[in-house]
Amino acid sequence: MALRKVFHDGDPVLRKKSRRVEKFDDRLQDLVDDLLETMREENGVGLAAPQVGVLRRIFVMNVHEEGDPAHDMVIINPEFLAQEATQHEVEGCLSLPGLYGYVDRPAQVTIRYQDRTGQTQELTADGLMARCICHESDHLEGILFSDKIVGNLFRYNKDGKAIDVKTGEEVELIQHD
């Protein structure tokens, strides 16, 4: 296993469409292990292969609060079967470090995908996992969350306040119970 370099917004590789995975060989297993290790090192909840410069339809995710490896998921060749309702939440991305924004996503999604052994699986997810699936699937199409934000990107300042990167004004965050 090895850490891979995460490419940042501005690199053309992030804007390309990824190709389907056909071979579930040792090389794929190495890539999957590297994606998981890199996601963990960077404290991400998801990481897609194009973010490390590999244009294949693979992403990994772990939405567990402490990132317990037992909750690692490997999603290959995902296809959406259903999308329902809407959620409006803050997103970030390892390819846009320190930047956040609100994105509307389906509240629930159902996907069909292959696991790392090539077995076909189905998954219905809501909340953070649904959002992560949509965000990472967008990476496979060359789309970044910043393309879809409602409002402007913001950063957090040292006091934990959200500051609009364009206007420098404080952003009012939506409070959930």
Catalytic residues: 136
DSSP state letter for 24? -
Q: Which positions lie near Ni ion, rule CB under 5 A? A: 93
Any idea of the CA torsion for 58, 64, 66, 72, to the nearest 10 degrees?
-30
Residue closer to Ni ion by CB (options 79, 147) is 147
Candidates 139, 116, 117; CA nearest to 48 is: 139
Q: At closest approach, how far in Å is the CB of 149 from Ni ion?
A: 13
Residue closer to Ni ion by CB (options 21, 48) is 48
CA distances from 20 to 14, 61, 74, 162, 174 (A): 16, 18, 14, 38, 37
Q: At closest approach, how far in Å is the CB of 71 from Ni ion?
A: 18
Candidates 113, 140, 120, 134; CA nearest to 48 is: 140
Residue 129, token pair as written in the block: 């996992």
Residue closer to Ni ion by CB (options 40, 118) is 40
| 63-81 as b/e: b if 16+ CB within 10 A | beeeeeeeebbbbbbbeee
Residue closer to Ni ion by CB (options 118, 165) is 165
Q: At closest approach, how far in Å is the CB of 91 from Ni ion?
A: 8
Q: At closest approach, how far in Å is the CB of 135 from Ni ion?
A: 5
Q: How far apart are CA 139 and CA 141, in angstroms?
A: 5
Q: How many CB atoms lie under 10 A from the CB of residue 22?
A: 10
**Chain position whose Cβ is nearest to Ni ion:** 93
